[in-house]
Amino acid sequence: MAQLFDRRHGCGEVPGFDRPRGGPYAKALFQRAFAALQSSPLSVMTVRPLVILPDPVLRQKSEPVTTITDEIRVLARDMIETMYDAPGVGLAAIQIGVAKRVVTIDTNKEEEARDPTVFINPEIVWASEELRVYDEGCLSIPEFYGEVERPDRVKVRYMNLDGETVEKEADGLLATCLQHEIDHLNGVLFIDHLSKLKRDRVIKKFAKAAKRDAA
């Protein structure tokens, strides 16, 4: 989820949590696509600047990806690099100013091998009635965290970098990350799940900081 959750809060590092694993078929599909990205002539990764609250770009609704083009592959690759550089465990394309429905997530612990997943046009097709609370943060709202309650388990349908439709079940931290990032694609921030008082305070704080930086 972000910093997206950063690796300390929310979708970030949670001591004792074992990350849900996809089936071997789904994992093999991603590894094949990611290997193709790394071996392509477009394999140079770029860290892109993050969009920070109160930038209105964060409130835009992202457009679906209709075709997996080189532009989308470059975007996915740059998102992964930007996510790790932040460092974070999740990122939506709109957070680097691109209004496309693309999400990258890797909830592995820092000492574990990197295992990023690219979710294109992700949508939640099922959510559990059981809820769970995580202390979430966001790369676009740095150094602010808040407890958010979301469904503990979800099933997500998305397209991978091969253009294939995949369904993935997730629980715990990964489920929270997916919901957080899909919110971004719809112009929703995790602070929208907090009380109006808390939300107004953080928006005011970041608006003041933006005005100060612009002076």
Identify the burial level of 174 via C-beta atoms within 10 angstroms of its C-beta, where 0-12 means exposed, 13-18 middle and 19 or more buried.
Answer: buried
Express each pLDDT in 17-35 by its tens digit: 333 344 555 555 555 555 5
Both structure tokens of 199: 């939300």
Q: Which residues are catalytic?
A: 181
* CA–CA distance, 70 with 79 (Å, rounded to integer): 14
Range of the domain at 47: 2-214
CATH code, domain with 73: 3.90.45.10
Rg (CA), the chain: 16
Helices (H), 48-154: 70-85
Cα–Cα–Cα angle for 152, 50, 185, nearest 5°?
A: 45
DSSP run (H or E) holding 171 = strand 165-171
Cβ-contact 118, 156 below 8 angstroms: no
pLDDT in tens, the chain (215 residues): 444 444 434 453 233 333 334 455 555 555 555 555 555 545 678 999 999 999 999 999 999 999 999 999 999 999 999 999 999 999 999 999 999 999 999 999 888 999 999 999 999 999 999 999 999 999 999 999 999 999 999 999 999 999 999 999 999 999 999 999 999 999 999 999 999 999 999 999 999 999 999 98
pLDDT of residue 45: 83
Express each pLDDT in 81-110 by its tens digit: 999 999 999 999 999 999 999 999 999 988
The domain tally of the chain equals: 1
* CA–CA distance, 153 with 63 (Å, rounded to integer): 25
pLDDT of residue 111: 84
Between the CA atoms of 32, 37, 39 and 40, what dihedral angle is there, to the nearest 10 degrees? 130
Q: Cis omega (within 30 of 0) on the bond before 54?
A: yes
CA 70 to chain centre: 21
* CA–CA distance, 60 with 198 (Å, rounded to integer): 22
Report helix, strand or coil for 105.
Answer: strand
pLDDT of residue 171: 97
pLDDT of residue 83: 97
* CA–CA distance, 5 with 139 (Å, rounded to integer): 7
